[in-house]
Amino acid sequence: MKIETFHTLEAVLQTGTFAGAAKQANVTPSAVSMQMKQLELYLGKPLFDRSGLQARPNQLAHQVADTMRQALHGLEALRAGHGLAVEGVVRLGVIESMQPMVLPGIMRYLRDHHPKLELRLVRGRSSSLTAAVKAAEIDAALVAQPPTGGSARLRWTPMLKRELVVVAPPNVTDSNVAALFRQYDWIRYDRQTVSGGLATQYVSTHIREIRGTLEFDSAPAIAAMVSAGLGISVLQTPDPSVLRTHPLRVIKLGRSAPVLTLSMAARKSDDDNRAVEAVREAMQMALASYQREAVAAAR
C-alpha cells in the first residue's frame, strides 16, 4: 500500500469530500476514489458509507487515519533529515468558540511530544486573527475559512466542518423552521463573521417571513437569550458544555444546512517551519480525539 494513499485519506477526512481531497492533493476526484477503493480492498472492509449522494467516512476510516497520522508525520521528519524534537515559540490564535474543544488536546499533545515548544495563545475573531497571521503578528490561527477559500497568501489546512443549526428555547416542540421564525425574533450572529454571513444567506434564501431581528457578536450570549425564550438563532452546532449551561432545542436544517469550515491558517513561507507543523499536527490530533468523543457521547 502506497504511503500517498494514507495522505489522501487524511485529506478526505479534513475536507469532507473526495472533490475537496482531490483539490488539496492536486489530483482528480476519480484518482481519490480509486485510492480509497484500493485501501478498502487492502483492509477487507468498507471505509465509507456510499448510500447517499456523497461517500461519508465511517468510524473505521477515522481509526485508520488516527493510527497512521503520527507515523506519517514521523516519517516526514526523518525524510527531511532532522529529529522530532521541536523547540521555540509559536503564537497561535484560536477563535473563542473553538477554545474549549481544541486547546486541552493541543496542550496535552505538545506537552507529551514537544515539551520544549512554547505555545502563546491569542484569542479573537476570525477576521482579526487572519489579519494577524498575514501581518506576522502571530504564526497561525484556527479560524472560520471564508466560503471563497480565503487569502491566497496563506496556507489553509481544513480541520473541522461544523453544520449550522437552528437553536430554539428548550420547551419548543415545533420543528418547522419557518413557523418558528414567525413565532420568535431572530437573534442574529454578527453578519460580519463567516458563520453569521452563512446564517444570513440561509435565512434570506429559505425563510419568507421574519418576525423581528436582533444582532449580537457573542454566541454564548445568544445561546443564553434563546434558552431564556427571547428568540431563535442559526448557529454552529452547540458544544455539549453550552447545552448543559443553557438548555436549547437544536433543529437540524437537512441537506440545505450551511456548513462552516474551521481551518488552520499559516503563512506559506512557514511551510517548512517545524514548530508550526508541530502545532498543526497537535491540532489535528486534538480535533480527531474530540470528534471521536462526540460520536461516542451521541450514541
Per-residue pLDDT tens for 47-97? 998 887 788 889 899 888 888 877 777 676 665 555 556 889 999 999 988
How many H helices and E strands in the chain?
11, 11
The whole-angstrom separation of Cα 22 and Cα 29 is 5
Contact 169, 101 (CB under 8 A): no
**What grid cell was written down for 247?**
438548555
- So what's the pLDDT on residue 53? 78
Examine the pLDDT at 46 and tell me if it is beyond 60: yes
Examine the pLDDT at 296 and tell me if it is beyond 70: no
Please write the tens of the pLDDT for every residue from 245-275.
899 999 999 989 999 999 999 999 998 898 9
- In sequence order, which ranges of the chain are alpha helices (DSSP H)? 3-15, 18-25, 29-43, 59-79, 99-113, 126-134, 177-183, 194-206, 219-227, 240-245, 274-298
Domain boundaries, the chain: 1-81, 163-259
- So what's the pLDDT on residue 85? 67
Question: Mean pLDDT in the chain?
Answer: 88
The whole-angstrom separation of Cα 117 and Cα 88 is 5
Pairwise pLDDT comparison (76 vs 103), residue with the higher score: 103
The whole-angstrom separation of Cα 91 and Cα 137 is 8
- The CATH architecture that domain 1-81 belongs to is Orthogonal Bundle (1.10)
Examine the pLDDT at 181 and tell me if it is beyond 80: yes
Examine the pLDDT at 155 and tell me if it is beyond 90: yes
- Class for the domain spanning 163-259: alpha beta
- So what's the pLDDT on residue 117? 93
